[in-house]
Chain A
Amino acid sequence: MSARLQRCWHLTQFLLAQALHQRVGWLLATVALAVLAGAGALRGFNLGTEEPRFFTQLALLSLLLSGAFVAAFVGPALFCEGLATRTIPTLLMHGARRSEVVIGLLIALWTLLGWLVLLHAGTLAGVLIAYGHAPELAPALRAVASGFGPLLIVGAGSILAAMLLGRAVLSTAATLALACAGQLAPVIAFAQVRSSGVAQMGWTALEWLVPNFAVFETASPWAAATYAVSYASLYGCAAAFFFARREL
């Protein structure tokens, strides 16, 4: 068991290094600068007592957008490049299990997304303190932390898409579609209620396959975390199951 954990740890470290090799650091820095510039621009408007909420929403928007793009591009790229450069097949030949590769990919991507959340939280904290909104810090940071839930699911979805579709471009498109569908889940639920027959079955299936990101606005932090981990685990298990049975 410990040997397996150690292999997973080494795999994660290796995959994270590969992700960083794709210039993710530059992307993170650009995003932080964009949040700072956006906050500076917002400062020009007279937003009164709502200013900290606007800053928080800006940081959350930036986090969700940049997180969806990081997940959509880095996740499939890690897997597809790993196959193209024969890295993953070599790892498998040297004793790594396929499930360990999937776990390594997931943890590497989630770590990146976690850094993104921390970066946004830090930038927002700096902006709020600099502009004299320190008392609003705690709720603002809670709001930004809630953005990690959708990213956890989208990250797992990107790995699943990479396993299923095999091509980086298609997997990226599918991941971005999942991120949009998660935001538009109320529309899917509405269409499911309104339709009938085969169409209703189709909408129902889609409703089950796609998470509802509205949960992260209404549910308590623990319930939202449980929901995010459950959906991400479901996608991760499906990815591991599929990868164990497909050709390389």
Chain B
Amino acid sequence: MVAPQPFSLRAVNFERSTLVWVLGLLLAGGMALNRMERALTSAPLTETGDGLEAFFAATGGASTLAADWLWIRTNLAWENRDEAGVRALLRLTLAAAPQSAYFRFNAARMLAYDMPLWRIARNPDAPRAVHDAWRLGGADEAIGLVLENAGDDAGRWLEAANLTLYARRDRMAAGELFGFTAMLPGAPWHAGRIHAQLLVEQGREAEALAWLRHWLPRLPENDPAAQRQLVIGRLAALEFELWSRGEPL
């Protein structure tokens, strides 16, 4: 009868020098490829930044997949109107994909529009002032989230302007934000038109006229989205209105 062989991790017979040669080959090749790798990848991890963001950055491409998974979990929590769960998952999602405008904007919209409504639905008898405080609080939190490290990102400023207009319901502040956004590089053309419209709604026709005169030269003639003719028409209408009221043009 043959005695069973003892278990050994070393299942292969080879000379020790062979392993040294293989390791040497792998290390030498790896060193050369590491130089190429450093030129091809983005900046290495640093100790700065939020702990969660650093954690997700360490996982490389897996962070995008993690963000998608967390966003789906957020959607499920949102369907259940679980405010605490949604908040926690939103934070994780944004830490996993801080550059994603889609996640950031939709997170802000949940904070600004949905969460105050959930609270109001849970406490319909609360005083109106409390309802307003919830709405304003949600809007401010959402605007803060959108403008976090926004720099001159026109998309983020435009979203902040929209949140100020529709969630915070502050037409004056929203008007200023639309005006600021319109001057940023890459801003959509409608930001400038909304700025003028909000000035008119506040009875500041002279300022709206001055804005349109200042802004009109920036509008390209060959881009239909710029709607240059529409702006010229509004400018003429404002001039006529101010002239008919006897105000200086």
Contact = CB atoms under 8 A, between A and B. Distances in A.
Contacts of A57: 64-65, 68
A81 to B, nearest CB: 14
Interface size, A (range): 35 or more
A186 B45 contact: yes
Interface in A201-231: 205, 207-219, 223-224, 226-227, 230-231
Given A42-B72, A167-B11, A186-B60, A237 B41 contact: no
Interface in B38-62: 40-42, 44-45, 57-62
Q: Across the A-B interface, give the 7 residue pairs with the lowest CB-CB distance, nearest first.
A: A208-B30, A166-B11, A166-B12, A234-B29, A219-B40, A246-B14, A247-B13
Contacts of B61: 183, 213-214, 216-217
B75 A46 contact: yes
Contacts of A170: 9, 11
A238 B22 contact: yes
A190 B45 contact: yes
Contacts of A50: 102
A204 to B, nearest CB: 9
12 contacts: A45-B72, A45-B75, A166-B11, A166-B12, A189-B45, A213-B60, A214-B41, A215-B41, A227-B40, A231-B33, A246-B12, A247-B14
A46 B37 CA distance: 38
SS of B interface (majority) = helix
Given A42-B72, A234-B33, A215 B40 contact: yes
Interface in A166-209: 166-167, 170, 183-187, 189-190, 193, 205, 207-209
A132 interface: no
Contacts of B106: 48
Nearest to B27: A208
A184 B12 contact: no
Nearest to A189: B44
Interface residues of B, number: 39
Interface string B12-35: 111100110110011101110110
Nearest to A247: B13
Nearest to B9: A170
Interface of A: 42, 45-46, 48-50, 54, 57-58, 60-61, 163-167, 170, 183-187, 189-190, 193, 205, 207-219, 223-224, 226-227, 230-231, 234-235, 237-238, 241-242, 245-247
A245 B18 contact: yes
A84 B68 CA distance: 44
B36 interface: yes
B12 A54 contact: no
B13 A209 contact: no
Given A183-B61, A219-B41, A247-B13, 8 more contacts: A46-B75, A190-B58, A208-B34, A230-B33, A230-B36, A234-B29, A234-B33, A246-B18
A25 B9 CA distance: 32
Contacts of B18: 242, 245-246
A190 to B, nearest CB: 4
Contacts of A223: 40
Nearest to B62: A183
Most chain A CB neighbours (cut-off 10 Å) among B25, B68, B75 = B68
Contacts of B40: 215, 218-219, 223-224, 227
Given A49-B102, A186-B58, A242-B22, A214 B75 contact: no
Contacts of B42: 214, 218
B210 to A, nearest CB: 37
A164 B23 CA distance: 11
Contact of B58 (A166, A184, A209): A184
A144 to B, nearest CB: 13
Contacts of B10: 166
B60 A185 contact: yes
Contacts of B21: 241
B40 to A, nearest CB: 4
A211 B33 contact: yes
Contacts of A214: 41-42, 60-61
A61 B165 CA distance: 40
